């Protein structure tokens, strides 16, 4: 058996779930630099599905494709520590300011340069919650898509059978390969780092990172090709500049308002018996309860 | 041409709530822009469906009726919508931010190279000036949504590409029938001209739909818990209070993500929008995405150990204290005074 070529689309995101007080500036706005950059949670669920196919079908390879700034190579390494074989970092100033459509264009142009059977992405990223890039990539590559995947039932005879979690139910669908799927948070969590893989890949680097690497290690990269993370710029893909970055983004941000809270007149109470009694009395009197 | 389109979802021959809400919003936008409101419904056995749709003030309803088009599948529905939009060139297209709308919307926007904004909490008409290019735009759709973990509110526009597409969650907009006798036109599409056999490559093997078990949207009182509740077990207290008061239990996204409670109870931008007469927020910090789903509640009680919690700024009553201490006292008082 030859296995499958799987591409996991992943994104490094600011951890918006944990915006603590230390991440807020004095003017009440968010200090983005203070937020840790993490592997987008549902992309980890996607990686797990890819690794399960690799477990079941020897010869399968799992490649992480991410678009972002140089430091996004961190999530490629993170994926390798958990079982991915390699990764591609798509990084260029030309991609800056991309909305979901321009992002999906760049990613689909990169995918056209490589072989794939199954493309797996997380349902959505926590910094935007749009859930758009997966389906937009599928459309651009003219591939069928299955969204909100919770698990893989079977892969056989060129088709993959998947369980989907919908708002009000579940569906089991059969889809021809090649295809794109997006994976839900309700799918199994990603396996932990593997100690051996951590040792193997901890020095994996992109070409840009290598320029700052310790000279003593440089010989490693010739002897161990798996330590080289592919770094692609706009010149490594075929693209129409009008469809990239800000120019290729139909949506524009007209206005950003920081959320500034206007306090309204509230009655401030404690948890004392007396205060709670007063509150309940008032709610009864206004017929809010009772 | 250049009208407003609403994609109507169907389940069990009923037009989805969210689609009715969008038709209502679409009508008011059409009035403002002085254009027509059009709708598309794709499914099977659609005879009479116009009775549910035209009363919202729909001028033209397109139907694509074919046994292969129900239940929803991505590719055939995409094919119909894309081709129809290419023919009709709508200026605005609205979809529910549902399992279907969030699957279909990006596919359509990708095919048409148009901009799509997800989970809008408000839609307005406004103008825009691009000073760099010296261009002025009138009558654009302002697509307003919280972003970046709810720390900002973004207004998104699509100056040059059409249609301007947006998805909206159920419950965000209010629905209201315009005129039960509204005279609209029904156009039956020749489905064979819109889809190809290849569009049906994905097969649905099994499908179980269940009516939502909880109805927090309709509950007069919502007792909601956040990450500050600390555990699934501690949520039990909220169920008790909700039970006593005759309400339902809701939750913030952080509590859902932490596994304290099921997603169907999530209140906020990516959950349900509620407008109860009383909302009791327990251990909820109150990020803007959560507030977007509950700030129109008639009365709000915030119970939090943090006197600086953002939720306090929209509350009518702020109780600075421990939920585990406060709620049993509320239950006790209620029980002793309602016998």
For position A29, what pLDDT does the model report?
A: 57
CATH of B221-337, one of 3.30.70.1230, 3.40.50.300, 3.40.50.1220, 3.40.800.20: 3.40.50.1220
Q: Do A128 and B147 touch (CB under 8 A)?
A: yes
Q: Do B148 and A254 touch (CB under 8 A)?
A: no
pLDDT top residue among B174 and A112: A112
Q: Do A253 and B202 touch (CB under 8 A)?
A: no
CATH of B4-200, one of 3.40.50.620, 3.40.710.10, 3.30.70.2190, 3.20.20.70: 3.40.50.620
- The dihedrals phi and psi of A126, each to the nearest 5 degrees, come to -75, -10
Cα dist from B249 to A17, A23, A98, B236, B316, whole Å: 22, 31, 39, 10, 19
For position B26, what pLDDT does the model report?
A: 98
Alpha carbon distance B295, B85 (integer Å): 36
CA distance A277 to chain B (A): 7
Q: Which member of B157, B208, B221 has the closest CB to residue A252?
A: B157
CA distance A189 to chain B (A): 12
For position A177, what pLDDT does the model report?
A: 98
Predicted confidence band of residue A167 (pLDDT cuts 50, 70, 90): confident
* Set of chain A residues whose Cβ sits within 8 Å of the Cβ of B269: 129
- Comparing alpha-carbon positions, the chain B residue that sits nearest to A147 is B103
CA distance A91 to chain B (A): 22
* Structure-token pair, residue B243: 């039970």
Using alpha carbons only, give the angle A257, B116, A241 rounded to the nearest 5 degrees: 95
Domains of chain A and any CATH numbers: 5-253 (3.40.50.620)
* Set of chain B residues whose Cβ sits within 8 Å of the Cβ of A16: 148-151
Whether B73 shows a pLDDT value over 90: the answer reads yes
For position A163, what pLDDT does the model report?
A: 97
Q: Do A257 and B210 touch (CB under 8 A)?
A: no
Whether A23 shows a pLDDT value over 90: the answer reads no
One DSSP character per residue, chain A reads: ----EEEEEE-EEE-GGG--GGGB-TTS-B-GGGSPEEE-HHHHHHHHHHHHHHHHSTT-EEEEEEESSGGGHHHHHHHHHHT--EEEEE--GGGTT--HHHHHHHHHHHHTTS--SEEEEES--TTT----HHHHHHHHTT--EEEEEEEEEEEETTEEEEEEEETTEEEEEEEESSEEEEE-TTSPPPPPPPHHHHHHHTT-B-HHHHTTS-GGGTTHHHH-GGGB-EEE-GGGS---GGGSTTTT-S-EEEEEEE--------EEEESSHHHHHHHHHHHHHTTS--
Mean of all residue pLDDT scores within chain A: 91
Predicted confidence band of residue B271 (pLDDT cuts 50, 70, 90): confident
Whether A1 shows a pLDDT value over 80: the answer reads no
Whether A262 shows a pLDDT value over 60: the answer reads no
Query: What are the tens digits of pLDDT across the range A120-152?
Result: 999 999 888 899 999 999 999 999 999 999 999
* Set of chain A residues whose Cβ sits within 8 Å of the Cβ of B254: 17
Q: Do B149 and A161 touch (CB under 8 A)?
A: no
* Structure-token pair, residue A194: 């593997």
CATH 3.40.50.620 maps onto chain B at 4-200
Whether B138 shows a pLDDT value over 90: the answer reads yes
Nearest to B295, CA basis, from B312, B320, B270, B308: B312
Q: Do B156 and A270 touch (CB under 8 A)?
A: no
User: Mean per-residue pLDDT for A94-105?
Assistant: 95
Query: What are the tens digits of pLDDT across the range A49-83?
Result: 999 999 999 999 999 999 999 999 999 999 999 99
Taking the CA atoms of B302, B307, B311 and B315 in sequence, report the sign of the dihedral they define. Answer: positive
CA distance B90 to chain A (A): 16
């Amino acid at each position: 058996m030859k296995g499958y070529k799987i591409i996991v689309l992943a994104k490094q995101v600011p951890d918006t779930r944990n915006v603590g007080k230390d991440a807020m500036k004095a003017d009440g706005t968010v200090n983005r630099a203070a937020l840790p950059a993490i592997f987008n949670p549902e992309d980890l669920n996607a990686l797990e599905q890819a690794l399960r196919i690799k477990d079941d079908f020897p010869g399968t390879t799992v490649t992480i494709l991410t678009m972002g700034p140089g430091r996004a190579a961190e999530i490629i390494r993170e994926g390798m520590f958990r079982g991915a074989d390699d990764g591609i970092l798509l990084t260029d100033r030309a991609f800056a300011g991309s909305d979901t459509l321009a992002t999906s264009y760049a990613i689909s142009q990169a995918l056209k340069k490589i072989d794939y059977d199954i493309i797996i992405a997380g349902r959505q990223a926590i910094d935007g919650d749009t859930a758009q890039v997966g389906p937009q990539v599928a459309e651009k590559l003219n591939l069928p898509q299955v969204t909100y995947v919770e698990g893989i039932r079977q892969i056989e005879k060129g088709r993959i059978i998947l369980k989907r979690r919908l708002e009000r139910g579940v569906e089991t669908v059969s889809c021809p390969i090649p295809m794109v799927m997006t994976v839900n948070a309700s799918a199994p969590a990603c396996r932990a780092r593997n100690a051996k893989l951590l040792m193997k890949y901890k020095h994996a680097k992109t070409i840009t990172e290598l320029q700052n690497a310790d000279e003593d290690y440089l010989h490693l990269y010739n002897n161990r090709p798996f330590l080289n993370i592919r770094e692609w710029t706009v010149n490594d893909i075929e693209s129409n500049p009008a469809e990239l970055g800000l120019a290729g983004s139909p949506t524009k941000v007209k206005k950003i308002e920081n959320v500034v809270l206007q306090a309204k007149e509230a009655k401030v109470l404690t948890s004392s018996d007396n205060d709670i009694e007063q509150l309940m009395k008032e709610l009864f009197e206004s017929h809010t309860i009772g | 041409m250049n009208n407003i389109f609403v994609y109507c979802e169907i389940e069990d021959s009923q037009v989805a709530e969210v689609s009715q809400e969008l038709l209502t919003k679409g009508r008011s936008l059409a009035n403002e822009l002085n254009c027509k409101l059009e709708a598309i419904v794709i499914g099977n056995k659609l005879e009479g469906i116009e009775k549910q749709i035209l009363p919202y003030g729909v001028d033209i309803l397109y139907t694509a009726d074919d046994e292969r088009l129900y239940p929803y599948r991505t590719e055939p529905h995409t094919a119909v919508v894309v081709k129809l939009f290419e023919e009709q060139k709508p200026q605005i297209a609205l979809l529910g931010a549902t399992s279907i709308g969030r699957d279909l919307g990006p596919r359509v926007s990708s095919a048409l190279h148009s901009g799509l904004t997800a989970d809008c909490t408000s839609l307005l008409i406004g103008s825009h000036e691009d000073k760099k290019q010296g261009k002025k735009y009138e009558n654009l759709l302002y697509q307003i949504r919280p972003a970046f973990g709810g720390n900002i509110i973004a207004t998104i526009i699509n100056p040059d590409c059409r249609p301007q597409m947006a998805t909206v969650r159920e419950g965000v907009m209010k629905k209201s029938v315009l005129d039960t006798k509204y005279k609209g036109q029904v156009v039956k599409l020749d489905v064979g001209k819109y889809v190809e056999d290849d569009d049906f490559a994905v097969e649905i093997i099994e499908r179980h739909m269940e009516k939502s078990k909880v109805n927090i949207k309709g509950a007069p009182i919502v007792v909601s818990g956040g990450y500050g509740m600390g555990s699934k077990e501690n949520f039990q207290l909220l169920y008790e209070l909700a039970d006593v008061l005759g309400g339902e239990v809701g939750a913030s996204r952080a509590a859902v993500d932490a596994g304290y409670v099921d997603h169907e109870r999530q209140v906020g931008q990516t959950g349900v929008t509620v407008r109860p007469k009383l909302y009791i927020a327990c251990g909820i910090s109150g990020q803007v995405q959560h507030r977007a789903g509950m700030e129109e509640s008639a009365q709000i009680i915030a119970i939090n150990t943090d006197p600086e919690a953002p939720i306090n700024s929209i509350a009518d009553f702020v109780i600075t204290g421990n939920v585990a201490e406060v709620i049993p006292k509320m239950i006790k008082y209620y029980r002793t005074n309602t016998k």
